[in-house]
Structure 1
């Protein structure tokens, strides 16, 4: 981890940006500094947006009755291939086959997740 990354973790992104900009200010014009601030602000906003977007997507999936294997894998946090391997081995959450399609009932995914919870010792 480099010094700038440590500064972001310790002080937070806004403080780290201010300190970094103080260090490089003599080397940059005011226009370049403004552009750098705008780029940083957009990057932070995108990160927050992506985090909220994923949370919203997961909440939307929880409201459905049935999920595709890809959706089910994302919801429980495993690769779709792992879910497929479990299904082939007769393990993992229960599935419903409907017209040749494999679907996962959300309620069964929730039950399976709770049944496989491990308490820390």
Structure 2
């Protein structure tokens, strides 16, 4: 995954649905992982969760390293 800056130059923040689609993992699993502290780091913005692409990438790289 590459970090994709948007028009403002800021890092893209993935929604739960976008991350679910990207990883091929159910949304409910992502919420469970958040509660258990085992998924990628998310940012709470109001009532919504957003996943910075860099955090998702770091989490995946950590999984690859074991």
TM-score range, shorter chain: 0.7 to 0.9
How do 1:23-42 residues align onto structure 2 when only pairs under 5 Å count? none
Structure label with greater radius of gyration: 1
Deviations 1:11-50 (A, max 9, x none): xxxxxxxxxxxxxxxxxxxxxxxxxxxxxxxxxxxxxxxx
Bigger relative CO (Cα 8 Å, ≥ 6 apart): 2
Alignment gaps of 5+ in structure 2: 7-11
Superposition TM-score, scaled by structure 1 size? 0.43
Shift of 1:100: 2.0
Task: Point out the structure with the larger helix share.
Answer: 1
2:41 is aligned with 1:79: no
Shift of 1:101: 1.1
Superposition TM-score, scaled by structure 2 size? 0.74
Alignment gaps of 5+ in structure 1: 1-58
